[in-house]
């Protein structure tokens, strides 16, 4: 009887937009459509379903899953470990948001956000003080032969001159190598840095990982301009219209060559950002260009995630994978899109202690879905003012056994 096929009719709710008229709704079959699923006795036994005539919402969802979900995408992160050399924690210095790692000239390269001094916040003089740890930053870089001991090589991309779109801070950088050239994309802020300031994305390029770097004269990505602030008070939660998911800020950019084009993945923050049942209302988007320098056009399918924070994406099996952390109802998941846009959850993982991940781009990305997450760089808050770059690791988790129990 194990392979006997059963047909079970599941009730699914179709949600109608509020703009639908009664006439349009009458033309629909019903608010409640009946979906017929072909399942087997093996599925019922696997899921432990007691009575197929009385299915909970959870069981209905589970019956749509493949019987062998597998654990190829399920991982656990290990404890963070400190680095040696110039990237060891240094009191009075902020080093954070490491880029991906690439290997050139027999050495690993990483770029990161760097600033000095404590953070005062928005309560004082924003013209002279530091409102965030990533305020008043420049982009620096370091090299290492083993990924543990690092030498700080110096400044890569500085802030712009007064009046430029990046005159206040440049930070949260990512690296892409393409056809012998190197591209750094990063966040920018123009003074004054108040709570309603709109962050943008800049780009720099070079013929060498050691520079010199040429910066774009204008941002390559900006927030949507369809939100409306309420009043003149510096309060980012007061809005008349929230606008698109990225109407306030575009953050954490990462450019990947993909299917003959360039996909710029980014985090969007919305004007009047709210707290939901999953935390902050953060989502990801993508903008696409024919050339690494742009112009980048936002996808009409944005947002492409319901959750997330810092962008962590990599190619796999003809598509794009994404680690979603920190915020939203789908946080702590790994997702994959066969087309780089339509992401589905592949695994739900334990809490992620690595944030602003710098992936090891030298990894064999096709060996396993998560091979690129075996080790890389991240950052940690040493205290309220200063952060340092650390090393993370992860491993696939395939079994769970009690003490003394056989794993066979």
**Hey, which bits of 235-361 come out as E strands?**
239-241, 249-258, 261-269, 275-276, 279-280, 282-289, 297-298, 313-316, 319-324, 333-337, 344-348
pLDDT at 115 over 90: yes
| Spatial distance between the Cα atoms of 39 and 210, rounded to a whole number of angstroms | 58
HSE, CB side, 13 Å, CA atoms: give it for residue 277: 2
Beta carbons of 369 and 396 less than 8 angstroms apart: no
- Provide the pLDDT for residue 24: 38
Q: Report the percent of the chain where pLDDT is more than 90.
A: 79
User: Within a 10 A sphere around the Cβ of 248, how many other Cβ atoms?
Assistant: 26
Rounded-to-integer distance, Cα 323 and Cα 373, Å = 9
pLDDT at 252: 97
Domains of the chain with bracketed CATH: 5-62 (no CATH), 75-396 (2.115.10.20)
Question: What tens digit of pLDDT does each residue of 356-406 get?
Answer: 999 999 999 999 999 999 999 999 999 989 999 999 999 998 888 888 887
Q: What was the pLDDT predicted at 28?
A: 42
CA distance 164 to 160: 6
Half-sphere exposure of 363 (CA within 13 A, CB side): 22
Q: What is the dihedral of CA 335, 337, 342, 345, to 10 degrees?
A: -20
Pick from 10-19, 60-69, 207-216 the range whose average pLDDT is largest.
207-216
Tokens representing 67? 């019987």
Q: Residue 210 and residue 180: Cα distance in Å, rounded?
A: 13
pLDDT of residue 10: 64
User: How many CB atoms are located within 10 Å of the residue 180 CB?
Assistant: 7
Give the model's confidence band at 4: pLDDT under 50 very low, under 70 low, under 90 confident, else very high.
low
């Amino acid at each position: 009887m194990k392979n006997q096929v059963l047909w079970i009719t599941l009730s699914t709710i179709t949600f109608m937009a509020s703009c639908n008229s009664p006439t349009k709704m009458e033309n629909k079959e019903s608010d409640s459509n009946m979906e017929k699923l072909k399942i087997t006795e093996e599925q019922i036994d696997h899921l432990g379903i007691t009575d197929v005539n009385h299915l909970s919402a959870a069981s209905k969802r589970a019956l749509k899953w493949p019987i062998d979900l597998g654990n190829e995408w399920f991982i656990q992160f290990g404890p963070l470990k400190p680095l040696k050399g110039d990237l060891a924690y240094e009191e009075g210095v902020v080093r954070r948001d490491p880029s991906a790692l690439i290997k050139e000239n027999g050495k690993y390269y990483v770029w990161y956000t760097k600033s000095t001094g404590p953070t005062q916040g928005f309560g004082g003089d924003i013209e002279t003080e530091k409102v965030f740890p990533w305020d008043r930053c420049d982009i620096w870089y370091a090299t290492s032969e083993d990924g543990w001991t690092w030498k700080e090589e110096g400044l890569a991309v500085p802030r712009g001159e007064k009046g430029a779109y990046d005159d206040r801070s440049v930070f949260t950088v990512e690296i892409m190598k393409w056809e012998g050239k190197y591209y750094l994309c990063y966040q920018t802020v123009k003074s004054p840095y108040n709570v309603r300031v709109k962050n943008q994305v800049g780009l720099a390029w070079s013929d060498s990982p050691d520079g010199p770097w040429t910066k774009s004269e204008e941002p390559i990505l900006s927030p949507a301009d369809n939100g409306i602030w309420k009043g003149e008070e510096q309060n980012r939660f007061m809005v008349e219209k929230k606008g698109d998911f990225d109407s306030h800020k575009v953050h954490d950019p990462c450019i990947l060559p993909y299917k003959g084009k360039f996909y710029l993945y980014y985090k969007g923050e919305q004007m009047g950002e709210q707290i939901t049942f999953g935390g902050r209302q953060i989502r990801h988007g993508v903008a696409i260009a024919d050339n690494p320098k742009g112009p980048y056009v936002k996808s009409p399918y944005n947002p492409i995630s319901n959750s997330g924070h810092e962008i962590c994406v990599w190619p796999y099996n003809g598509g794009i994978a994404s680690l979603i952390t920190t915020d939203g109802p789908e946080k702590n998941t790994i997702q994959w899109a066969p087309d780089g846009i339509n992401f589905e959850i592949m695994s739900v993982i334990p809490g992620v202690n690595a944030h602003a991940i710098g992936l090891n781009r030298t990894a064999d990305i096709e060996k396993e879905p998560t091979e690129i997450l075996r080790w890389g760089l991240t950052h940690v808050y040493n205290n309220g003012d200063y952060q340092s770059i650390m090393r993370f690791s992860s491993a696939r988790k395939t079994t769970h056994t009690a003490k003394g129990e056989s794993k066979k």
